[in-house]
Chain A
Amino acid sequence: MGKPQPILSSLEAKDYKSTVKPIWCPGCGHFGIESALFRALAHLGLPPEQVAVISGIGCSSRLPAYTECYGFHGIHGRALPMATGLKLARPDLTVVVASGDGDAFSIGGNHFIHACRRNVDMTCIVMDNEVYGMTKGQPSPTTPPNWDCKIAPGGTGVSPFSPLMVALASGAGFIARGFSGDRNGIAKMLVEAIRYPGFALLQVLSPCVTFRPEEKDWRLQVHPSELPTTANWAEATRRLAADDGMTTGIFYKAELPLYPATVMEPIDQLNAIETELTL
């Protein structure tokens, strides 16, 4: 043979898949995201027990139970602060957040902004199907204004916002978008996102086959960015301002100061602190 062996991870994508069968509908885009995550983790060679998947509530947030990693299926909108606490307490772990457009941008909007700003090392996957899937189809902050639904007949009349621009303005240093139909594309970006030493945001357009069947056309509309990733904030702003919402790729990746502290070895003993209080 003679050829030097490349260093291979002995882990395969299927090592990250638990025996729990997903309840996502046939045709759901989330299957692609799950698959991509497993491929990325396998490629990185991260033992499943070293990875924690934190989620809120929604179809997206069912993901942790489908993995062989540690997981926490928390409450609606609060995955990001929970992941933050975990990472600060256990910097040795790889922390991935699984969230959705309602979970991250509506009820979780405040936490989203501050997670971008704080830059604690974690990867946040927002599975954006532009609807609240789990509660039978309500509009989310990324739903178009004219989408007719029961809770807002004729549509909300309220325009969606641009989560990636919000992320950029809030200080996120890694901003990317993928499409669930391209799991290899997502997997590649996830590898970079997980490796990124800070808060990495990956929005994945993921059609909801049950409540937004028209989203099946997304696969014809998404297209990769023609421009390479920029590390320049102003340039990223220009690109996102011109973004059609269907462009995939890593828009922005910059070196930013990491959140400065975690739980670590002590400097002092408690006794030294207690003498402060002594008369």
Chain B
Amino acid sequence: MNTLVSPMDSVAVAIVGSGGAGSITAGSLLLEAAGRIGWYGLMTRSVGPQIRGGEALAMVRLAGAPVGSHGDHFDVLLALDWHNADRFVDEVPLNANSLILAEAEAGEPPAVIMASGARLVTLPLESLAEGVEEGRPNIVALGVLARLLALPLDELLIVASRALERKGLDVDLLQETLKTGYDAAEILDDSIRALPPAPARGTRWRLTGNEAAALGALRGGVRFAAVYPITPATDLSEWLAVRLQRVGGHLIQAEDEIAALNMVLGASYGGIPSLTVTSGPGLALMSETLGLAVAAEVPAVVVNVMRGGPSTGIPTKSEQSDLNMALYGLHGDAPHLVLAANTVSDCLSATQWAVQLAEALQCPAIVLSDQFLGQSQAVCEQPVDHDGLGVASRLVAVEPGSAGRYDRYALTDNGISPMALPGTPGGQYTADGLEHNAHGIPSSRAADHRAQLDKRRDKLLHYDYGPLWADEEGDGELAVVVWGSATGPVREAAARARAQGLAVKVLSLRLLFPVQPTRLSALLAGVQRVLVVEQSHSQQFYGYLKAHYALPGEIRVLNQPGPLPIRPAAVLTQLLQWR
């Protein structure tokens, strides 16, 4: 749970550089070192379009409690150079309290950055680096930041040597480079912005949302994946490929997204929990196959790491604009599961749960993650085993046909019919996208269509989804309803609002379909004002809520499209205006 109360509870550092300056590496090492001594944190990155050598920005936020979003301002902007840095100005809001540390030889900072009123201090990072064999300015800069943030140098050395030894950097020289920066930062001793070191903590992890989702899939029992590369989902597939093999599974790169999901269906039909990973354009290609999974009642999980849309859109940025497609993008009446992760570590729970649900309900599940969650590195608590999370279990027909003819699509009380796995004698059936009768024979008869439509709908409606369907925090007449990565800034805003005496309830939905109107109404009992927050241009989430739920009282919507994240201050302003 996010308990950040005020900006003073966190430190936000941005590092920018280009042409191989290594700003992303520096940010990552900073996060890891801070994590090791007990801080929580979040790191995101932003890059130019070049494959190498482009302008690159690392954004790190550190705090004494789990960090769900970036704050409203950055405390420090460290510039290794200023090439094309003004492309990032929207992502690194600065104010008069901010400190800009810039390479002395880099020239004037862009006017738009100086217009923030931040204080500028230049440091000769390049020439300091030249003073050490193999010295690199970004490592010097890390030494500077260590002193500024009161981070122990030896922690930085440990993480740096582990990461960089592989790339041929010598440990002793690294140490010397870090110390050079540390010493040079003496002039900043009046500017120290550190958080107090955290108390000793239990096991914590450092991982991205994509890694978390992959792990959730493995925990859920996935042992086959078929994927097609697409930004920002590819690193999930790459992480999964190696680990899947170690647990006896297999990941195959297909020739396109349509093939990928069809491979998943084939493997799933054969009895193995299976998954694919994609982004918006890929999910669009998968529509027809998803419908097949619904009609033939074959489990499958599709993780959609959303990016800016529509069409090719903004591949490297986040947005919550695939909601409509995930919910409504299949032809025919094709009810299916739609889930969403709302933090980096929740990518694990959401995906694991999706695997369990898809297997139990014999249908496809779309898990909506996004570029922000997927590619942010977070230091967070080790995800515990939630109540309700475990290894997926499918209702398999053990001795099909022993009590008469085996009917794959038999009409059962709860709508779930046992599935015979190929190889099982007596269970032979042909799975079909054509509408069919209980036995699986294609049928165009009204009674069969109605019966099977009811079955496929009712199996989802009758299922008990338990407490995981939504996260509820706080209480009050004012509630914020949110989903996905917008949850982070909402939680922070809510905490700040409560600190100012305003009671706010936050409801973050994890299960988007099937809808849970009764449960939502119960959670919103007594609420008079509802603020809906989402990162989409056309208010997709608000439209969804209006269509399927009865929201109490007065409703307002705070929405914006990508590429910029929603800031806590923007939500807080809405809340305070509406007390």
Contact = CB atoms under 8 A, between A and B. Distances in A.
Q: Do chains A and B touch in the complex (CB under 8 A)?
A: yes
B270 A89 contact: yes
Given A81-B254, A88-B224, A278-B205, A74 B430 contact: no
A52 B422 contact: yes
Contacts of A133: none
Interface stretch (A42-50, A146-154, A161-169, A201-209): A42-50
B298 to A, nearest CB: 8
Contacts of B422: 49-50, 52, 70, 86, 90, 93
Contact of B289 (A65, A75, A265): A75
B256 interface: yes
Contacts of A70: 420, 422-423, 427-430
Contact of A84 (B266, B269, B429): B266
Interface string B222-242: 011010000000000000000
A75 B258 CA distance: 11
Interface size class of A (residues with CB under 8 A): 35 or more
Interface stretch (A29-37, A175-183, A219-227, A269-277): A269-277
A257 to B, nearest CB: 15
Interface in B264-282: 264-272, 274
Interface string A249-278: 000000000000111111111101110011
B427 A84 contact: no
A266 B221 CA distance: 12
Given A90-B271, A90-B272, A279-B36, A78 B248 contact: no
Contacts of A75: 262, 288-289, 292, 433
A82 interface: yes
Interface string B245-259: 111111010111011
A71 to B, nearest CB: 3
Contacts of A78: 258-259, 262, 289
Contacts of A41: none
B246 A85 contact: no
Contacts of B245: 261, 267
Contacts of B442: 65, 73
B316 to A, nearest CB: 24
B428 A84 contact: no
Contact of B266 (A86, A272, A274): A86
Interface of A: 20, 47-50, 52-54, 64-65, 68-75, 78, 80-90, 92-93, 110-111, 113-114, 261-270, 272-274, 277-279
Given A71-B430, A87-B266, A263-B223, 19 more contacts: A20-B441, A47-B425, A49-B423, A52-B270, A53-B430, A71-B428, A73-B434, A74-B262, A78-B289, A81-B263, A81-B266, A82-B262, A85-B226, A85-B264, A86-B267, A90-B270, A90-B272, A93-B423, A263-B250
24 contacts: A49-B422, A54-B266, A71-B428, A73-B432, A73-B442, A75-B288, A81-B254, A85-B263, A85-B270, A86-B269, A87-B266, A89-B268, A90-B423, A93-B270, A114-B259, A263-B224, A263-B248, A264-B250, A265-B248, A266-B248, A267-B245, A274-B215, A277-B205, A278-B204
Q: Ordered nearest first, which 8 A-B pairs have the shortest CB separation?
A: A85-B266, A85-B263, A71-B430, A266-B248, A89-B267, A86-B266, A81-B259, A90-B270
